[in-house]
Amino acid sequence: MSILIDSSTKVLVQGLGKTGQFHTDKAIAYGTNMVGAVHPSRAGETFTFQGETDHSGVPGRPDTYEVDLPVYATVRQAVEETGATVSVVYVPPPFAADAIMEAAAAGIELVIAITEGIPVADMIVAKRYLQGTDTRLVGPNCPGVITPGECKIGIMPGYIHQRGKIGVVSRSGTLTYEAVHQLTQLGLGQTTAVGIGGDPVNGTNFVDVLQMFEADPETEGVIMIGEIGGSAEEEAAEFVKSMSKPVAGFIAGTTAPPGKRMGHAGAIVSGGSGTAEAKIAAMQAAGIVVADTPSEMGEAMAKALG
């Protein structure tokens, strides 16, 4: 099993500019079931994606692929025509929040927003809107979600992932890749890897993903990667106390100069809260095996498993 996405997931792409085209092609090569695109000014066109299959996905897949992706004017039209339940957003920042809300209005179950730099005020409006829907948002400013060998939605490199028993959840895209690579090198494949993004206003949080991994029978351990700023990691640590599965973790930002804003928009330390030290202490108190450096994340997960 997995969480959020699998081989049967039908995916739309919102925003088919250069970035959207590039990563849609990579997703199709991996085996993701991309069924349509939404781009109002190009509605009625068809984009053809073709090339060599990414064999880091499912063994036995044909060596090449050719997919004709229809382009629709609206998400609602695309959903009606394709039956898509998930969308991935590559829409430019000024329009991305509207794209998220349009997807929710059309009944999309899961929106994965890759776009970086969406204005905070726009995301506040979008998040308030989503509260009245059944739509789950992952992101924005995130690398996406991948269930190895089944479905890749976002910008992560597929070849480093391997099917297995470890769930991955992270605020940092780069550290997600590093953790996954280390796990794979140690023979610890992944059930699903979820990049929740580092913006101060986002959708799915650590606790949401930890709950899903706790309920997933295939997931036997979880690695959680956080960073300075906010209280999300402390809240997650409190939830971990009730989990039956081992958890490892890492907090980025231990060397950040006091009073400096570092990295993601959400990495803001204020009033003495949100420090790396406080987060690490909370995680260790919850029984989480915390890596001291990024190079030790995989080893921390192996240690947590026992």
Amino acid at 111: V
The catalytic position among 23, 39, 161, 264 is 264
Q: Are 36 and 81 in contact (CB under 8 A)?
A: yes
- Dihedral sign for Cα 178, 184, 186, 190, please: positive
Amino acid at residue number 191: T
Q: How far is CA 151 from the centre of its chain?
A: 12
**How buried is residue 232: exposed, middle or buried, by Cβ count under 10 Å (0-12/13-18/19+)?**
buried
Q: Verify whether residue 23 is a known catalytic residue.
A: no
Whole-Å CA distances, 262 to 181, 255, 259: 24, 10, 9
Q: How far apart are CA 83 and CA 168, in angstroms?
A: 28
Q: Which SS3 state, helix, strand or coil, does residue 131 take?
A: coil
For the four alpha carbons of 290, 293, 294 and 298, in that order, the dihedral sign comes to negative
- List Cβ neighbours of 194 (8 Å cut-off, separation of 6 or more): 3, 4, 138, 145, 167, 168, 169, 170, 204, 209
Cα–Cα distances (Å) from 201 to 89, 121, 231, 265, in that order, read: 16, 9, 13, 9
Token pair for residue 262?
């570092």
* Count of CB atoms situated within 10 Å of the CB of 41: 8
If residue 13 lies in a helix (H) or strand (E), which one and from where to where? Answer: strand 10-14
Write the CB contacts of 260 (distance below 8 Å, at least 6 apart in sequence). none
The residues assigned a catalytic role are: 264
